[in-house]
Amino acid sequence: MRFELTDEQRGFAASLTDLMRSADAVGAARAWAAGDKDPGTRLWSRLAEQGVTALVLPEDQGGLGGTLVDLVVAFEVLGHGLAVGPWIESAALLPHADGAMITAAVPPLAPYAVDADVATLASGTAGQTLASIDTTRTLVAVAGPDEIPADAVDRAVLAASAELLGAGERLLSDTVAYVKQRRQFGREIGSYQAVKHQLADVRIALDFARPLVLGAALGDVPVSAAKVMAGDAARRSARTALQLHGAIGYTRELDLGLWINRVRALVGAWGSADHHRGVLAELLREA
């Protein structure tokens, strides 16, 4: 029964979730964006101690020898809790045993190295620094990065998909909580069908993206399928979350925007929906 998560996987997810909550991951993300990397670095170390960067590294290289499903489980939690730092690069693209913060540029899918201002650049020379729509990500141009093997890149695409799924889930649950208590015209806005149906559609989109993310981890479908569906579902969740929060959602003060901008960044990073639909179309053309 490979489709069911094992107790071990559930336990791992729960321990990462607890850790992120107790360490105030969102506060760390805000500090990170403001230039104070200390809380984020401390959280990084604690997650790394749980083995996140070594998760899919083979045991003979000092790793945990986990499966891609384990990777998906971890990244969904990272997305849900808004982890900062180059996790996709350090845990999926270039997994390693010592927990270091590693980053890389993989043009054209991921043209900039994220957080190269604090992380070790795996290859090439760091150039100009650019701002991201997601203020918790610093983009660094890289000259002459090494070519990275396709299976490593696929892992990164998968991790980004799982992170999108986690962020989409978080945006949905925060919005559900909000519409249950916000009242207008004498009723909770969540009792209005125009509001309900939008949230139902987000629930459905996430429900049907999840099996493709798991399916890609199990090798049943290409990772491109996961990225397209998870990206579309997360985007829908983000748009709906903002709309249903009204103006409060449009403020920097509310945390919601942190996830909305994270989703937007990851929808583009590691291959756009257009890119991945193109990959799938090629396969279908030749089928």
Partner 1 sequence: MSPQRDELPNLELTEDDIAFRDEARAWLAANVPAEPLPSMDTADGFRAHQEWEARLAAARWSVVSWPQEYGGRGASMVQWVLFEEEYYRAGAPGRVSQNGIFLLSPTIYEFGTKEQQDRWLPSMATGEVIWAQAWSEPESGSDLASLRSTATRDDSRGGWVLNGQKTWSSRASYAHRGFGLFRSDPDSTRHHGLTYLTFPLDADGLLVRPIAQLDGEAGFAELFFDDVFVPDADVLGEPGQGWAVAMSTTGSERGLSLRSPGRFCAAADRLTALWRSHGAPTAFRDRVVDAWLGAEAYRLYTWGTVTGLVTGRSIGFASSANKVFWSELDVALHETALDLQGPEGERFSPWTDGYLFSLSGPIYAGTNEIQRNIVAERILGLPREPRGAGA
What residues line the site for partner 1 (CB under 8 A)? 1-4, 172, 176, 179-180, 187-188, 190-191, 193, 195-197, 199-201, 203-204, 207-212, 214-215, 218, 220-222, 225, 228-229, 274, 277-278, 280-281, 283-285, 287
User: CA 154 to CA 158: how far, in whole Å?
Assistant: 6
DSSP 6: P
Structure-token pair, residue 218: 């199990």
Structure-token pair, residue 57: 């590294």
Q: Looking at beta carbons only, is 59 or 207 nearer to partner 1?
A: 207
Question: Do residues 168 and 238 touch, judged by C-beta distance below 8 A?
Answer: yes
Q: Looking at beta carbons only, is 150 or 193 nearer to partner 1?
A: 193
Residue 186 CB partners (closer than 8 Å, separation 6+): none
Closest separation in Å from C-beta 279 to partner 1: 9
User: CA 14 to CA 173: how far, in whole Å?
Assistant: 17
Closest separation in Å from C-beta 214 to partner 1: 7
Closest separation in Å from C-beta 204 to partner 1: 5
Q: Looking at beta carbons only, is 146 or 207 nearer to partner 1?
A: 207
Q: Looking at beta carbons only, is 117 or 232 nearer to partner 1?
A: 232
In 10 A of CB 221, how many CB atoms?
17
Closest separation in Å from C-beta 92 to partner 1: 21
Structure-token pair, residue 248: 């409060």
Q: Looking at beta carbons only, is 133 or 281 nearer to partner 1?
A: 281
